[in-house]
Chains A and B, each alone.
Chain A
Amino acid sequence: MIAAIGLLLGVLLGLLLQPTVPAWLDPYLPIAVVAALDAVFGALRAFLDGIFDDKVFVVSFVSNVLIAALIVYLGDKLGVGGQLSTGVIVVLGIRIFSNVAAIRRHIFHA
């Protein structure tokens, strides 16, 4: 419940403040959001599995975001930022799909 309220609060805050993305953050934010999404779905799955741990969640959330940003940064430096971003998105997307599949099995038993 509090988690849902937190999500809503963040969305509202973003809508109300209308922050502009600083230039240095521009390439990393989309990847970071997708990585965080992956962490959230992983956490939801773990919760439904009954193995949720808030410490694990925090660490995985932060590390996901950081690693995603790091990969993009590295890719930019190596000149393959676009391709690497795509790769990261693909991997995270696959993980999100599998997590959602597990969540679905838990909730709908199907």
Chain B
Amino acid sequence: MPEPTTGTDLDQAPRRGRPDDGRARLATAIRRPASRGQVVAGALLAVLGFAAVTQVRSNEQDDNFVGARQGDLIQFINNLSLASQRAETEIAELQETRESLGNDTEARRTALALARRQASTLGILAGTVPAVGPGIRATVTGGGTGVGSDQLLNGLQELRDAGAEVIEINDSVRVVAQTSLQDTANGGVLVDGTALEPPYVIEAIGDPSDLSVALDFTGGFVSDVQSVGGKVTVDKLDKVDIMSVRKPRKPEYAEPASTG
């Protein structure tokens, strides 16, 4: 901005040394900056820039409510409270759902645990899982002297009576409900299709003293074996490991009858 003008209009002829054209004037102003007009304009433009930037920044911060009327604000607040009410209702519903889902999960977990326990109990009874516990080991020696299926059957019966829960013969055959015994031609015993040779080792899980008493009374297993020339040694054990299992067989004819 060059020398201050005195308000002459553009139609006048250009004065001496004075640019007559807007572009030339601008170029002169950029080349020769130090005039009072420029300083004043610079100061005002600084104010303008400052204010504009401030306004832009504050506008970016919250452009929703600046310059909003009272009515608009009340409307905003109403909308917000309605929205928050809806949100609260939704929260309550979701919490209810979550609770019921939690209950469902809990019930399912309980049922599952129950089923697992039952499955392991039944597995022990059916002989499909290994078992461990206190019990006895009865070793029957005297092979070829007539100890056969009769005596073993007797012994197993006595053990069952005394509450033996799991029985195993010779670490190889698990005795279950369907177990059958059969004498073989060479003096051994066929238990569930497995040929066993003496000495027979019968392991049973149950109350050790009950089981040993059950085998030992007069006319019981021990004396029965002795009468045919054999010998029985009964050991009470704190821990009997019965590892042999059998595969569950699907019943061919029997079906569960509905109890209802």
State how many angstroms separate the Cβ of A48 from the closest Cβ of chain B. Answer: 3
Interface of A, secondary structure class, is: helix
In the bound complex, do residue B67 and residue A26 qualify as a contact, i.e. CB atoms below 8 Å apart?
yes
Does B1 contact A14, Cβ atoms closer than 8 Å?
no
Q: B32-45: contact bitstring with A at CB < 8 Å (1 yes, 0 no)?
A: 01101111111111
- State whether B53 touches A15 (Cβ < 8 A): yes
Bound-complex Cα distance A81 to B39 (A): 35
Q: Given that A2-B33, A20-B58, A54-B37 are contacting pairs, would A48 and B25 also be in contact in the complex, using a CB cutoff of 8 Å?
A: yes
How far does the alpha carbon of A32 sit from the alpha carbon of B58 in the complex, in Å? Answer: 14
Within the complex, the shortest CB–CB distance from A18 to chain B, in Å, comes to: 7
| Also in contact, A21 and B55, with CB within 8 A (given A6-B45, A54-B41, A82-B69) | yes
Smallest CB separation, A68 vs chain B (Å): 12
Contacts of A87 in B (CB 8 A): none
Report if A13-B46 is in contact (Cβ < 8 Å); known contacts: A2-B33, A52-B37, A58-B40: yes
Residues of A within 8 A of B10 (CB): 49-51
A29 to B66, CA, bound (A): 11
Count B interface residues, CB 8 Å: 45
B9, B18, B54: the one within 8 Å of A19 (CB) = B54
CB of B23 closer than 8 Å to a CB of A: yes
- B50 interface contact, C-beta 8 A: yes
B5 near A: Cβ within 8 Å?
Answer: yes
Closest to A30 in B: B55
Residue from B7, B29, B48 in contact with A1 in the complex, judged by beta carbons closer than 8 Å: B29
Q: Does B256 contact A (CB under 8 A)?
A: no
Within 8 Å of chain A (Cβ to Cβ): is B195? no
Query: Is B98 engaged at the interface, CB distance under 8 Å to the other chain?
Result: no
Q: Of A2, A7, A103, which contacts B49 at CB under 8 A?
A: A7
Are A14 and B53 closer than 8 Å at their CB atoms?
A: yes
Interface string of A48-68 (1 = CB under 8 A from B): 111111100110010000000
> How far apart are the CA atoms of A43 and B47 in the complex, in Å?
15
Q: Which residues of B contact A33 (CB under 8 A)?
A: 48, 51-52, 55
Q: Do B49 and A8 touch across chains, with their CB atoms under 8 A apart? A: yes
Q: From A85, which residue of chain B is reached at the shortest CB distance?
A: B67
CB-CB under 8 A from A82, the residues of chain B are 67, 69
State whether the Cβ of A96 lies closer than 8 Å to any Cβ in chain B: no
Please report which residues of chain B, range 214-240, place their CB below 8 angstroms from some CB of chain A when the two chains form the complex. none
A1-45 vs B, Cβ < 8 Å mask (1 yes, 0 no): 111111111110111001111000011011011001101100100
A–B pairs, 14, beta carbons within 8 Å:
A1-B30, A1-B31, A2-B38, A3-B41, A6-B45, A10-B50, A10-B53, A14-B52, A19-B54, A20-B58, A26-B66, A27-B67, A33-B51, A51-B5
Residue positions of B touching A, CB distance < 8 A: 1, 4-5, 7-10, 18, 20-23, 25-26, 29-31, 33-34, 36-55, 57-59, 66-67, 69
